[in-house]
Structure 1
Amino acid sequence: MYNNGLGSPADDDRVALLIDGENISSALAGKIIVEAGKFGELLVKRVYGNAARIRGWDEAPGIKLVHTGLGKNAADIALALDAAELSFEAKVRTIVLVSSDGDFSHLATFLRERGHVVAGMGEGKAPVNYRKSCSSWLTLDSNPKDMDQKILAEMRKQKDGLLIGRVSPTLRAALGVTLSDLEEKTWRKYFEKRPDTFKITGEAQQTRITAR
Structure 2
Amino acid sequence: MYGLGEDKAPILFRAACTEFSTVASKGSATPENPTIQQRSSPTKLDEKIRAMIAIHSKKGSGMRISELAPKMHSLHGVKISSHVERTWRAYLLKRPELYQLDPRGPEAKVRFVPQGFDN
Q: Which has the higher contact order (CA 8 A, sep 6+)?
A: 2
TM-score (norm 1): 0.29
Q: Tell me the TM-score normalized by structure 2.
A: 0.49
Which structure's CA Rg is the greater one?
1
Q: Which has the higher strand share?
A: 1
Higher helix share: 1
